[in-house]
Amino acid sequence: MTEATGKPIIENADLQELFKVLRDNESPSVNELLAVVKQISAVEKHLQAAVDNLAAMRLQLADMEARNHPVQSTLEGSVITMQNHVLHLRDRVMELKNNFIEGCKNAITAFKEQGISALDDVVKFLHIKPALELLRQDLDKTIKSNEKTIAKIEVAAAEYHEAGRHFKNVGRIIMGKEAIQEAKPIGPLAKALTAPYRAERKCFAAMKGCTEKAIGSLAWLEDRAKPSIQGTIQKYSDQISEETKSIPTPQLAISHDSR
């Protein structure tokens, strides 16, 4: 379904096998782990939408170049910037998926060798938290870059309108008419030029939201795997108690004084 990152993660055979193991053994981790997978799947879909938006940007640029429009140089740099960001994010998502799938394989192997108790802390097999954190950081940078790009295009469009106003004023002055003093607000051109970039920003924001939710579900799984302090204290108290019982009581020697 998602061409940007290959086969969707939810369709991976190793992932499906791990979920079957967890469900068959009524593991309490299965729901939160499924939540993580759903968020990663959503990231894939939003990334594909961002890739599709790039096609719209290229068509827009080609149209401006064919018309030799003054804003074409601005659009050219903007398209290249966006393309680099999307390609980088694609690599991040691929890394995330590969880590997850490899972790699923390792978890299944551990289950086969040690039993279901090996999956009490299933997160330790996945190694995806660093990849999620890096993806979130990259999305922050990409969103900020996207906002700068939109502002740059709006400035270029405003300058185009301003140049048009000056040109029209020359004609008005020649005809003895009063010059137009204020430029018109940014019009349909600027809105059309920035539309795919605003759509792109929406995709990036959605990806960031999904990434943060995945990190939250992962944190829940990590916390659940940690034994409580009270439980740990009780465990060692019971252990000490049992060990104490096994220690023989020393017999006191009684001396009898002869009379």
CA dist list (Å): 239 to 227, 234, 236, 250: 16, 8, 5, 21
Render pLDDT for 94-114 as a digit per residue (tens, 0 to 9). Answer: 999 999 999 999 999 999 999
164: confidence class by pLDDT, cuts 50, 70, 90: very low
With respect to residue 161, please indicate whether it lies within any of the assigned structural domains: no
Alpha-carbon gap, residue 123 to 104, rounded angstroms: 10
Please report the DSSP string for 27-58 in residue order: -TTHHHHHHHHHHHHHHHHHHHHHHHHHHHHH
Domain extent at residue 48: 9-154+196-238
**Residue-by-residue DSSP string for 53-94:** HHHHHHHHHHHHHHTT-TTHHHHHHHHHHHHHHHHHHHHHHH
Residue 1 falls within a domain, yes or no? Answer: no
Total number of domains constituting the chain: 1
Q: Is 174 exposed, middle or buried (0-12, 13-18, 19+ CB in 10 A)?
A: exposed
**Is residue 101 domain-resident?**
yes
114-160 confidence digits (pLDDT tens)? 999 899 888 889 889 999 999 999 999 999 999 999 988 888 777 65
Residue 256 lies in a domain: no
Percent of all residues in the chain with a pLDDT value above 90, rounded to a whole number: 48
What's the pTM?
A: 0.76
**65 against 189, higher pLDDT:** 65
Q: Could you tell me how far CA 15 lies from the centroid of its own chain?
A: 19
Residue 163 has what pLDDT? 46
In a domain, residue 165? The reply is no
In a domain, 3, yes or no: no
Per-residue pLDDT reduced to its tens digit, 116-125:
989 988 888 9
> Is residue 185 a part of any domain in this protein?
no
Q: Is 166 inside any structural domain?
A: no
Nearest-CA neighbor of 81 among 33, 186, 152? 152
What pLDDT, on the 0 to 100 scale, is given for residue 69?
A: 79
